[in-house]
Structure 1
Amino acid sequence: MNDQPTRMRGDLGLVSVVAFGVAYMAPAVVVSIFGVIAATSAGAAPTAYAIATGAMLLTGFSYAKMAKVHPSSGSVYTYARKELDSRIGFLAGWAMLLDYLFLPMVAFLLQAIYLNVQYPSVPEWAWLVINVVLATAINVIGIKVADKVNRVLLIGVTGSLLVLAVLCAKYGFGHSGTAAIGHSFWNGATSFSAITAAAAIAAYAFLGFDAVSTLSEEARDPQRTIPRGIILTVLVGGAIFVVLSFLMQWTHPGGSFPNENSAGYLVSTVVGGKTFADISNLIGLLGGFASCVAIQASTSRLMFVMGRDGALPRPVFGRLHRKLLTPVTNVVIIGVIGLLAMNLSLAEATSFINFGAFLGFTLVNVCVIAYALRQWRSGRRHSVLGYLVLPAAGAAVDVYLITQLGSTATEIGLGWLAIGIVWLAFLTKGFRAPAPEMRLNEEDAKPAAGTPRHVPLFTPASRKPQVNG
C-alpha cells in the first residue's frame, strides 16, 4: 500500500483566493507599463485597459465554468483532458508550462532589476538570489503562510496605489481641468487600431487570473469559491488598471514621454515629488515579491498534478511532503529556474511566456463549447450565449492576441510544443494510447453536483485509467 499523499490540503476562503489572484497579477504593473500603454493608444490608456478587461472576462467566464465542473488544481490541463482528449490535455498542460515555468523567472528578474536600480550598491544577481530564496522558503512551508504574506504585501501595495490615485486626482483638478477627463478616454489622435493594439499589450497585465484555478484542492467549497474567485480577480484587477491609468492619463494627457518605460515614475514624481515616487516604487517592489510567491505557488501545483497523473515523471513531480503537504521538489525546481535569469535579458525572458498563456486560454474556451455540446446531446440544455457565443468570442480574442506576439515568442512557443509532442509520442506509444491519468478514489472521480458522468470527446472506448499504487 502506497501511503504517499496524493491530495493537497487547505482552507482558503474567497478573500484569500482573490488576494492570491490579484497578487499574482501584481496591480502595481499599471504604473510600470503606463507609458507603453499610453503611447501605443495615443493617450487613451484607460480605454485600452477597459477593452482588455472585457476581453479577459470572456475567458474568465470559461475558466469559472470549468472550475465548477472540474474542481482540480490542474487548470487547463485537467479541463482539456476531461473535455477533449487526454493527449490534447497533455499538450494544453505542456503549453501552459511554458508560461508557468518561465513567468517566475520574469518576476524574479524584474524584482532584481528594479531593486538594483533603487539600491545599486547591491548587485543585481544578489537581489535575484534573495528574492528566489525567500519566495521558495515561503512556498515550501505552505499555502497558508504564502496567503498571509500575500495579504500583508497586497495591503501595502493597495495603500500606495490609493495615495497615488488621490494625488493624481488632486493634480488633475488643479492643472489639467475637467475638460481633459474625456480626452483621457478618447482624443483626436486616438484610433480604433491604436486602442486595440494597446489593449493587446494591456491584456498581458492580466496574466495570472487563471492561476486561481490551481488552488482548487486547497480552497473551501472549491466549486463555488474558485469560479467566483476567478471572475472577481479579473474585475478587481481590471478596476485597478482602468481607474489608475485614467488618473495617470488625466495627469499627463497624450502619449508622448521622454522615456516610455519610466513614465509611471515620472507621473509619481510630478504629483508627489521624488521622495514619494521612491517610496511608492519600493512598495511596488514589495507587491512584486508577493507576485513572485503567488506565481511560484501556482506553477508548482500544475507541475504536481501533471506528475501525479504521470504526464511528467511521477517520482520527481508528483510527490508531496508528508507533513507540509506541499510539492516541495517542484517549488525548489522553479526556484532554480528563477536563478537562471542571471544569464538572460528581460526581453529574452518575457518572450518565453505569452505564447503558452494565450494558447491555454484558447483551449479553455474550446473546452466550454465541447462540454456544452456533450450536455446538449445527453438532453441537458445550457445557455447558447454563455456556453457557445461567449466562449467562441473569448477564443477569437485569444487567437488574436497570439497573432500579436513577436516572431521570437512564436518560434520559442512552437519549439516548446514540438518537444512536448515528442514526449507525448513516447508516453502514448506513438499516440496510440491515451496519455496517462490517475484516479485517486471514488470521491475524487465524482463530477460536480448535477453534472452527469461522461466520456471525453474523441477518447478511445478501450481507455483504461492508470492508478498509482
Structure 2
Amino acid sequence: MSVTASAAGARSEASQGDSVALAGFGYRQELHRSLGQYASFAAGFSFISVLTTVFQFFAFGFSFGGAAFFWTWPAVLAGQLLVAACFAELAARYPLSGAIYQWSTRLSTPSFGWFAGWIMVIGQMVVVAAAALALQVVLPAIWSGFQLVGTDSSPASASGAANAALLAVALLVVTTVVNLLDNRVMSVVNRVGVTAEIVGAVLIVVLLFTHADRGPGVTLHTGGQGGAIGALLVGSFTAAYVLIGFDSAGELSEETRSPRRTAPRTILLALAAAGVLGGLLLLGGVLAAPSLTDGRLSTEGLSYVLTSTLGEGVGRALLVDVVVAIAVATLAIQTSGSRMLFSMARDGSLPGARLLAKVSPRTGMPTATALTVGVAAAALCLLNLASPEAFLAIGTTCIAMLYLAYLMVTAPMLLRRLRGTYDTTRADTTHPDTTDESGKPPFSLGRWGLPVNALACLYGVAMTVNLAWPRATVYDPAGGHWYFQWFTILFLLATVGLGGLYRAVVARRGRRPDPLKSVSTPAADAASTAGSPVR
C-alpha cells in the first residue's frame, strides 16, 4: 500500500512539474496529463497504422511498380527518419499540443507558423477521412454482407466508393463518441488496439513468409505500368502514405507525463517499429501471393493474398485484426487533429476560437474540436458518393498536405541552424531548461544536426513535389476529369487561399491574426537579447 501511495505521489509531483513547465510557455494545464510512455508510443504508431495503410495502398503501389515497388519503402523510411530526428529534437524543446503549428511558429514567424498549422489541421481532417475509407478494402473481404451498396466491392467502382463512404461515416460516429470521453478511455482503447495491431502484424508476417512461393529476387523486376522510374516515383506513394503521423507523440505532449523525455523517444520508436513491420508486410505479400500476373494483386491487394494463400478462415480472422487497426488509426488521427485545432484556437487564431478552445473539466477533452474534425471528415468521405476517383484524390491530397506542413518545420529549422540562432543545448530560447525531466540533457542531434536537417529538407521538397505532380495516369486514368488530375494542387491552393482570406478579414477588423501567448521567434530572440520584452 505504501509503495503504491509513494508511486502515486511521485507521479503527482512529476505532473505538477510538467504543469509548471507548461506555464512557462504561457498556457494553463487544461488537458489531463495521464499518458505514459507506451500510450505516447501508441499515439504515433496508431496514426501510422501499418495494417490500415499497407492494406489500403498495397494494390495501388503494385499496380504501378510491380514487385519492385517494395524498394521504395526503405527509401521513404530513410527520408522520414531524417524528419523524425528533427521532430524529436523539437519535441524536447517545445512539449506543446499542436506540435507542427507550435514548432513552425517558434522557428519562424507567427504568420508562417499559422499557415503551417492551418495546412496541417486541414490535412489531418483529410487523413481521418482517408483512414476511415480503408474499411472498404477489408470488410467486404471478410463478409459480403458488408457490401451494402451494389455488388462490386472495389474502391474504384461506383458501388464500392459509395459503400466506402457509408462504412466510413459509421466508423467516424464511433470514434467521435470515444473522443468525447475521458482521455484515459481514449488511451486505453488506443493501447489495446495498438497491441492487437502489432501482434496481428507480426503473425501475418510470419504466416506470409512461411507460405512464400518465390524468392526475394522477384522484387528486382517491376512488371507494373511505369517501369523502374514509375516504381520509384508513383509506387512510393504507398510508403509515403503509411509513414506519416509519427509526430502524434508530440501532439499529445500536454497529456503526457515527462514529455521532454518521453516524446522524442516515442516519435522515433513509433516510426522505426512501423517501418520494419510495414516493410516485412510488403515483402511477405509479394512473396506469398498466388500470382503476380493475374491482376488480382493490383486490384485486391493484401486482402487477396491472405484469403487465397492462408485459406478463407484464417485469412478472414486476420482481416478482423486489420479492421481493429483501421478503427484505432481513425481514432488516433482524429485525436491528433483535434489537438492541433485546440492549440490554434486557444491562441485565438481561428474562427470560433472561444468555443474550440474549451476543455471539459470533467473529461479533460476539447469536445468542440473533436466534433469539428469528425464532422469535417465525414463530409469529405461523402465525396466518394460523387465519384470513385475521389478515393485516390482524397488519399493523395492528405499525404501531400502533411509533407508540406512537415517541410514548413524543417525548412525554418535549417535556416536557424545556418544563421547560428538555433541552440540545441536549451529546451527553448525563452525558457532555458538545459535538462529533461530526468535531469539528463534533452535529446539533441549534436554535430549531426545540420546534415540531418539539410537532408530532411531536400527529401521533403522532393517528396512533396512528387506527390502533388498532376499525373493523369494516376489521378484521372479514365480521362475527362481534369480537376482530379489537378486535385491536390487545387486543394492546396484553396486551403492557403481560404486561410489568407480569413487572416485578411481579421486584420481589416483591427484584430491581430496571431495573438499567441508565448512565442520565441528569431525577431523575438533578438529583442530578448537586447533587453526588450518578449511577448
TM-score for both structures, normalised by structure 1: 0.85
| Structure 2 residue corresponding to 1:27, chosen from 22, 37, 50 | 50
Task: Report 1 or 2 for greater relative contact order, CA contacts < 8 Å, sequence distance ≥ 6.
Answer: 1
For 2:48 and 2:106, the matched residues in 1 are separated by 27
- Tell which deviates more after alignment, 140-149 or 320-329: 140-149
User: 8 Å contact 2:85–2:268 — kept in the other structure?
Assistant: yes
Q: CA deviation at 1:356?
A: 1.8
Question: What is aligned with 2:377?
Answer: 338
Q: 1:71 to 1:105 in 2, by over 3 A?
A: same
User: 8 Å contact 1:372–1:388 — kept in the other structure?
Assistant: yes
Counterparts in 2 of 1:109-258, with a 5 A limit?
Answer: 109-111=133-135, 114-115=138-139, 118=143, 119-120=145-146, 124=163, 127-172=167-212, 175-176=213-214, 180-184=215-219, 186-187=220-221, 191=228, 194-252=231-289, 256-258=293-295
SS of match in other structure, 2:33: coil
Question: What is aligned with 2:104?
Answer: 80
User: 8 Å contact 1:45–1:246 — kept in the other structure?
Assistant: no
Q: CA deviation at 1:271?
A: 2.3
For 1:432 and 1:42, the matched residues in 2 are separated by 55
Question: What is aligned with 2:328?
Answer: 290
For 1:14 and 1:379, the matched residues in 2 are separated by 23
Question: What is aligned with 2:502?
Answer: 423
User: 8 Å contact 1:116–1:122 — kept in the other structure?
Assistant: no
SS of match in other structure, 2:67: coil
| Structure 2 residue corresponding to 1:360, chosen from 399, 405, 410 | 405
Q: CA deviation at 1:424?
A: 2.1
Which letter does structure 2 place at the counterpart of 1:395? C
Q: 1:373 to 1:253 in 2, by over 3 A?
A: farther
Q: 1:256 to 1:213 in 2, by over 3 A?
A: farther
User: 8 Å contact 2:130–2:381 — kept in the other structure?
Assistant: no
For 2:423 and 2:137, the matched residues in 1 are separated by 55
Which letter does structure 1 place at the counterpart of 2:492? G
| 1:308 equivalent in alignment to 2:346 | yes
Which letter does structure 1 place at the counterpart of 2:183? I
Q: CA deviation at 1:183?
A: 3.4
User: 8 Å contact 1:85–1:457 — kept in the other structure?
Assistant: no
Q: CA deviation at 1:251?
A: 2.0
Q: 1:50 to 1:9 in 2, by over 3 A?
A: same
Q: CA deviation at 1:367?
A: 3.3
Cα deviation, 1:274-325, whole Å, max 9, x if unaligned, reads 2222222222111100001101111110000100011113212111112212
Q: 1:458 to 1:349 in 2, by over 3 A?
A: farther
Q: CA deviation at 1:207?
A: 2.1
Q: CA deviation at 1:199?
A: 2.4
User: 8 Å contact 2:169–2:381 — kept in the other structure?
Assistant: no
Q: CA deviation at 1:227?
A: 1.0
TM-score for both structures, normalised by structure 2: 0.75
SS of match in other structure, 2:31: coil
Q: CA deviation at 1:252?
A: 3.6
User: 8 Å contact 1:6–1:320 — kept in the other structure?
Assistant: no
User: 8 Å contact 2:58–2:238 — kept in the other structure?
Assistant: no
Q: CA deviation at 1:344?
A: 1.1
| 1:47 equivalent in alignment to 2:109 | no
For 1:136 and 1:316, the matched residues in 2 are separated by 17
Query: How many pairs were matched up?
Result: 445
For 1:6 and 1:214, the matched residues in 2 are separated by 15
Which letter does structure 2 place at the counterpart of 1:393? L
SS of match in other structure, 1:455: helix
User: 8 Å contact 2:131–2:329 — kept in the other structure?
Assistant: yes
| 1:103 equivalent in alignment to 2:127 | yes
| 1:326 equivalent in alignment to 2:371 | no
Q: Over aligned residue pairs, what C-alpha RMSD do you find?
A: 3.2
Cα deviation, 1:314-338, whole Å, max 9, x if unaligned, reads 2121111122121001111122223
User: 8 Å contact 2:48–2:246 — kept in the other structure?
Assistant: yes
